[in-house]
Amino acid sequence: MPNDILLYWKERGAREFLRDLRGCRVLATYVIGSTRTSTVPGVSAAGPTPEATLYTPALDVEYLLTGRAISMDVIPVTPEGVPTPAIITRAVLKLAGFPHLIVDSGSYLEPKVPHVRLPSKVVGGLISECRALPEGYASRLLKESRLLGRTAVKGADLLVIGESLPGGTTTALGILAGLGYEAWGLVSGSGPKNPHPLKERVVREGLRKLPKELRGDPMKVVECLGDPLHVSMAGLVEGALESGTKVILAGGTQMAAVLALLKSLNVNLSGNLVVGTTRWVAEDNTSDIVKLVKLVSESTPVVAVDLNFSSSRFEGLRYYERGYVKEGVGAGGTAVAAVVSRGIKVGDIVEAVEEEYHSLVGRGDLLG
Amino acid sequence: MPNDILLYWKERGAREFLRDLRGCRVLATYVIGSTRTSTVPGVSAAGPTPEATLYTPALDVEYLLTGRAISMDVIPVTPEGVPTPAIITRAVLKLAGFPHLIVDSGSYLEPKVPHVRLPSKVVGGLISECRALPEGYASRLLKESRLLGRTAVKGADLLVIGESLPGGTTTALGILAGLGYEAWGLVSGSGPKNPHPLKERVVREGLRKLPKELRGDPMKVVECLGDPLHVSMAGLVEGALESGTKVILAGGTQMAAVLALLKSLNVNLSGNLVVGTTRWVAEDNTSDIVKLVKLVSESTPVVAVDLNFSSSRFEGLRYYERGYVKEGVGAGGTAVAAVVSRGIKVGDIVEAVEEEYHSLVGRGDLLG
Kindly provide the ipTM of the predicted complex, given to two decimals.
0.96
Q: Which one is predicted more confidently, A47 or A38? A: A38
| Contact between residue B133 and residue B297 where contact means Cβ atoms under 8 Å apart | no
Q: Do B152 and A97 touch (CB under 8 A)?
A: no
pLDDT, position A367 = 40
- B154, B157, B342: which to substitute to probe chain A, counting the most A Cβ within 10 Å? B154
pLDDT, position B248 = 98
| SS3 at position B173 | helix
Give me the residues of chain B with pLDDT under 70, please. 1, 363-368
Pairing of strands A5-9, A302-305: antiparallel
Q: How far is CA B289 from CA A343, B118, B283, in A?
A: 47, 29, 9
CA angle B107, B109, B114 (to 5 degrees): 80
Which residues make Cβ contacts (< 8 Å) with residue A24, sequence separation at least 6? A157, A158, A341
Chain A contact set for B117 (CB, 8 A) = 104, 110, 114-117
CA of A141: which chain B residue's CA is closest? B114
Which among B65, B97, B148 is the nearest to A154, CB-wise?
B97
User: Whose CA is closest to A230, among A84, A102, A105, A100?
Assistant: A105
pLDDT, position A21 = 96
Q: How far apart are CA A262 and CA A272, in angstroms?
A: 13
Which among A65, A100, A114 is the nearest to B116, CB-wise?
A114
Q: Do B116 and A110 touch (CB under 8 A)?
A: no
pLDDT, position A368 = 39
In the predicted structure, residue A364 carries a pLDDT above the cut 70: no
Q: Do B145 and A26 touch (CB under 8 A)?
A: no
Pairing of strands A26-33, A158-164: parallel
Q: Do B100 and A151 touch (CB under 8 A)?
A: yes
pLDDT, position B313 = 93
pTM of the model: 0.97
Q: Do A101 and B145 touch (CB under 8 A)?
A: no
Average pLDDT estimate for A157-162:
98
Q: What are phi and psi of B293, to 5 degrees?
A: -65, -40
| Contact between residue A161 and residue A247 where contact means Cβ atoms under 8 Å apart | yes
Q: Do B101 and A25 touch (CB under 8 A)?
A: no
pLDDT, position A158 = 98
The continuous run of DSSP H or E covering A342 comes out as: helix A331-342
Residue pLDDT, tens place only, A95-142: 999 999 999 999 999 999 999 999 999 999 999 999 999 999 999 999
Chain B contact set for A153 (CB, 8 A) = 99
* Alpha-carbon distance B344 to nearest alpha carbon in chain A (angstroms): 17
Average pLDDT estimate for A201-211:
98
| Contact between residue A355 and residue A312 where contact means Cβ atoms under 8 Å apart | no
Burial-class residue B256 by CB neighbours within 10 Å (0-12, 13-18, 19+): buried
In the predicted structure, residue A2 carries a pLDDT above the cut 80: no
Sign of CA dihedral B5, B9, B11, B14: negative
| Contact between residue B7 and residue B274 where contact means Cβ atoms under 8 Å apart | no
Q: How far apart are CA B301 and CA B324, in angstroms?
A: 25
Mean pLDDT of chain A: 96
Pairing of strands B302-305, B5-9: antiparallel
Strands (E), chain B: 5-9, 26-33, 100-106, 115-117, 158-164, 246-250, 273-278, 302-305
pLDDT band, residue A3 (cuts 50/70/90): confident
The continuous run of DSSP H or E covering A228 comes out as: helix A228-242
Q: How far is CA A103 from CA A106, A119, A232, A233, B116, in A?
A: 9, 11, 9, 9, 8
